[in-house]
Amino acid sequence: MADLLAEAQVRSWLDEAGRVVVLTGAGVSAESGVPTFRDALTGLWARYSPEELATEAAFRAHPQRVWDWYLQRRQALECVRPNAGHVALARYAMRYPGKLTLVTQNVDGLHQQAGQAETLALHGDIRSECWLDAPRACCQGQAPRIGHPPRCAVCGNLRRPAVVWFGEALPATVLEAAERASAECHLMLVVGTAGVVYPAAGLVHLARRAGARLAIVNPEPTALDSLADVCLRSASAQCLPRLLEAAPLAGSD
């Protein structure tokens, strides 16, 4: 009964809020079967530390090793589909244009697949690539030479996964947009994240300082629970449809 009352409270806040920010983490993707970062360090990769596979230095030292690990992770995503939580968020955003800003720490692109095209992906996109070094003129307008990893046939510049590695800054424009939305929102939902990775978790503190209400959706306790108005101990694929799909269409009676 307490959980039902708490969900009803959050639904009423959603109705009242002019602007909503949703911050999602690995737990949302895990419900679709996506291994967490550390869960992906299994089998052949179990002998490596994250620092040996997810830093620029590791890539420069062992480009094929790092590339092949990310290739394996990409291939594992081919059979993964957005879950009911992803879909509920995308549908809500379509029903209320301009109301919801989705910020994610996930790199799997499942929010975008569900229809959330304007997702702010703080840590990049594992399915995309970019140049390791600033591209020269020879890198432009040509297909990279095939390899593990591919490289420019002229200067040898390597292609790398378009994700944020340890020690790298988040993309400035994405972070600025997330900070601006967090400072202006009336309600923030924090879903499927333990709240220990910064600067993503700092967005929650920013929203609270600006006076926003905070609801956390996570089956386990998080480092941000003490800031929350409500903690819903539920899986996101179960809870988000109840919170978001109960709302009527904008303009309906």
The pair phi, psi for residue 215, each rounded to 5°, is: -125, 130
Q: Which residues of the chain form beta strands (DSSP E)? A: 20-24, 100-104, 120-121, 124-131, 159-163, 187-191, 213-217, 230-232
Catalytic center residues:
123
How many C-beta atoms lie closer than 10 Å to residue 247's C-beta?
15
Assigned token pair, 40: 């992906």
Residue type, position 129, single letter: E
How many C-beta atoms lie closer than 10 Å to residue 14's C-beta?
22
Q: Give ∠ CA 217-236-105 in degrees, rounded to 5.
A: 80
> 97, exposed or middle or buried, with CB in 10 Å at 0-12, 13-18, 19+?
exposed
Residue type, position 24, single letter: T
Counting DSSP H helices and E strands in the chain, the numbers are 9, 8
